[in-house]
Amino acid sequence: MDNQKYEGMWVTSDGYIRQELLSNNRYDEARGNKQSAYTGRYEIKGTYIYYWDDTGFTADGTFVDDNTLHHGGYIFYRELS
């Protein structure tokens, strides 16, 4: 249930990193012109997000509010359609 609240596209303010949290608990992250630079699965517990990349590394982040995510030293903002 927590995952649905945060599904969708998250982007850095400069648009360089774009991370889509998909409804199947997978993510797809683009960097610059490279689509799917990182892919893997994620789980959200409360305001914390945990990532397991397909290449084997792990990461985490924190949702500060419904529209702001701190992850990997970056600040992501929810992309509104």
CATH of 2-78, one of 3.30.300.30, 1.10.10.10, 2.40.128.290, 2.60.34.10: 2.40.128.290
Domain spans of the chain, in order of start: 2-78
pTM for the model: 0.93
Instruction: Give the tens place of pLDDT for each residue, 18-28.
Output: 999 999 999 99
Structure confidence by residue, pLDDT tens digits, 25-73:
999 999 999 999 999 999 999 999 999 999 999 999 999 999 999 999 9
For CA atoms 78, 9, 50, 29, give the dihedral sign.
Answer: negative
The per-type count for the chain, helices as H runs and strands as E runs, is 1, 8
